[in-house]
Chain A
Amino acid sequence: MIDRTVPATQRPGPAHGHGTGPGDASPVLSLQGVHQVFRTPRGDVPAVAGVDLDVRPGRVLCLVGESGCGKTTSARMAAGLAGPAQGSVLFRGRDVAGMDRRERSDFRRSVQFIHQDPYASLNPVRTVYSTISAGLRRHGLVGDRREARRVTAELLERVDLTPAEEHLDKYPHQMSGGQRQRVAVARALAMNPEVIIADESTSMLDVSIRVSLLNTLGKLRDELGVGFLFITHDLAVAKYFAWDGEIAVMYLGRVVEHGPTPRVVNDPQHPYTKALIDAVCEPDPDLAHGRERIRLRSSEIPELTDLPPGCDFHPRCPLYEQGDCDSVRPPLVPGRDRLLACHVVNGG
């Protein structure tokens, strides 16, 4: 819905535009204390409960966690596909909820979403050309059909679908999963976005194709300065793609650990992050058999409608201590090199 009570403002000044230095550039897209609650017959489900995240130009912010931890809901709020129940989503410093029609159209163009399943996200009766050029035409970025075809072909080349001419008039069913996902990337790229939100975009693909798609996305990040909100449950993928960026680990709607990728992956502090990294199957038989595994107290994730008191993770946590863990929810506090929410680690 467009809120017309807020007067149209000028586009934000250069302070909110593309930064030059990678680390200190101001965020293009921010989530500030966002909450999302789904009302169901069985009670309210607090899918996301107070999350703060910043996406900066040319940088990757990776969200990891198990299903149901609120990764996708956070991404949908960041893309403006759902409004937060509390808190705000800022695009170039402007609250998305208070945008007028023109600003909103600009936001829609600048923040693009790539879905998980390329079999479901492409319209089966549209050709590749038709799919990719729809946005170009809608936003008036191309003049005539010839230009649209030329721009579409360029986009296909950018995502390594070459020769582009061969692919322009194909239908999705004539392409493999990896090729379809590249079409989805090209469609997002057509809008010249500042931020791409990728929700498990590589998890349906074969290992061999996964790496080349990640490399294509990496090229967009490095050459075009696109900021990424990258969602995955695969920590190896997160580590590879977000090595120069940050990882935020979510558990039951909250961020429990958030810091630079090399620190979080190579030296995890939160017991949940440790368990996640420990659970990865490594393609090395000696490594796999030689190591001592972390034992969780329970393998089942609690229901969101019936959260435990205190720390959400305490029923499964191997570091659980009686006292604060089962009575007080640990706040996400800044430490030496990261944000961390754990009584035991922060206290010790």
Chain B
Amino acid sequence: MTDHIAATPPAEGPLLSVRGVDVGYRTGRRKQVTAVRDVSFDLHPGQSMALVGESGCGKTTLGLGLLRLLPRTGVVSAGEVLFRRKDGRLVDVRTLAREDLRRFRWNEAAMVFQGAMNAFNPVLRVRDHFLDTFRAHDGGRGSRARHLERSAELLRMVRLDPGRVLDSFPHELSGGMRQRTLIALALALRPQLLILDEPTTALDILTQRSIVERLAELREELRFAMVFITHDLGLAAELADRVGTMYAGRMIETGTTRDIFHRARHPYTSALINSVPPVTGDLRVPESLPGGPPSLSALPPGCSFAPRCKHAVERCGSTRPTLDVLRSRPEGMSHAAACLRSHELFAEGVTRD
């Protein structure tokens, strides 16, 4: 008998498991709209998932709902958000008590908000933002000097000069520096999951590039999982392992980045991809996708995309398609699309391959 067996870590399962989540907003005394409907996905440790779609499709609402950061009128009204904590315990974020929730946020999962300026307190120096974070979420452990040292280390990690940045006020930093600082701050307590809402929108292209590269490197180094919300499909192609397309509050297609960009099977995903003019090569005329997503309070009875879809047939207006798995893969990397005609359209060569 061999005295030591190679300790294979147990199959860990997903880090985040979202099950049939609905998110609603109260819009009046007895009125409410459901902004996210029946969304399910599994995110495994270290994965990077992009949520794409037009404005008003529920991307940000879903992102906020995962951490229960919704505004007061919003609520996760159904489903489960199961999260595997660092200690291995599985918790449902939806039912966490107040204090547990506070400990969960930032330690386990952190958020990088859209609009780097608004995420800071304008009257506090960057140093105080870091110190406050450590004080509030780290249970008051460690001295001030220790925390400052750790802050400097975090800032160096995002390629900033701590000597200059720590003593600055947010308005004294450029947009790119603010965004990096925000990422450093989000990583302060080594969360397992980072949710980024439009992390590079409103930044200049060269700044955007350096942030994208740094994020990819940091993910390699620190092995955190990412969910990032973007309407920039180029960014999704670059930073994500897998992509979920959202339309009118539902996840309508999900798959690996290659599935989505090379073999999209939902006409909406194809249309989104085809509407981006490429910068390399000869001129390709992008497709336009007229109209906008439907009002959430008056969704069409069948497929929500049917009124804008070039390929819609009669039954699309009456039957709602389910998210069907087209190619099954482990670890949540399956390719699935919610389109009644996905097989026909694929056979006709309408959707890309």
Contact = CB atoms under 8 A, between A and B. Distances in A.
A208 B206 contact: no
11 contacts: A206-B231, A207-B231, A207-B233, A211-B287, A234-B205, A239-B279, A240-B286, A266-B280, A266-B282, A279-B208, A284-B261
B292 A283 contact: no
Contacts of A276: 205-206
Of the four ranges (under 10, 10 to 19, 20 to 34, 35 or more), the interface on chain A belongs to 35 or more
A240 B258 contact: no
B173 to A, nearest CB: 10
A236 B278 contact: yes
Contacts of B278: 236, 282-284
Interface of B: 54-55, 159, 174-177, 204-210, 212-213, 231-238, 257-258, 261-262, 271-273, 275-283, 285-290, 292
A210 B279 contact: no
B176 A285 contact: no
Contacts, number: 131
B234 A211 contact: no
Contact of B232 (A243, A275, A281): A281
Nearest to A237: B277
A282 to B, nearest CB: 5
Interface of A: 66-67, 176-178, 206-212, 215, 233-237, 239-240, 243, 262, 265-266, 275-289, 293, 296, 299-301
Contacts of B233: 207, 283
Contact of B277 (A233, A240, A301): A240
B289 A279 contact: no
Contacts of B237: 281-285, 287-288
Contact of B283 (A66, A243, A278, A289): A243
Contacts of B261: 283-285
Most buried by A among B261, B262, B272, B280: B280
B347 to A, nearest CB: 24
Given A281-B234, A281-B235, A283-B237, A176 B292 contact: yes
B277 A296 contact: no
A212 B292 CA distance: 12
A148 to B, nearest CB: 28
Secondary structure of the A contact surface, majority rule? helix
Nearest to B180: A299
A235 B175 CA distance: 20
Contacts of B231: 206-207
Contacts of A277: 279-280
Contact of B280 (A176, A207, A282, A296): A282
A285 B257 contact: yes
Contacts of B276: 207, 236, 283
A270 B352 CA distance: 36
A300 to B, nearest CB: 7
A67 B233 CA distance: 22
A280 B55 contact: no
A262 B281 CA distance: 9
Contact of A288 (B55, B159, B207, B238): B238
A236 B232 CA distance: 12
A281 B212 contact: yes
B280 A208 contact: no
A67 B280 contact: no
A146 B48 CA distance: 58
B244 to A, nearest CB: 15
Contacts of A234: 205
Nearest to A299: B210
B288 A283 contact: no
B289 A208 contact: yes
Which residue, of B55, B213, B272, B279, has the highest number of chain A Cβ atoms within 10 A? B279
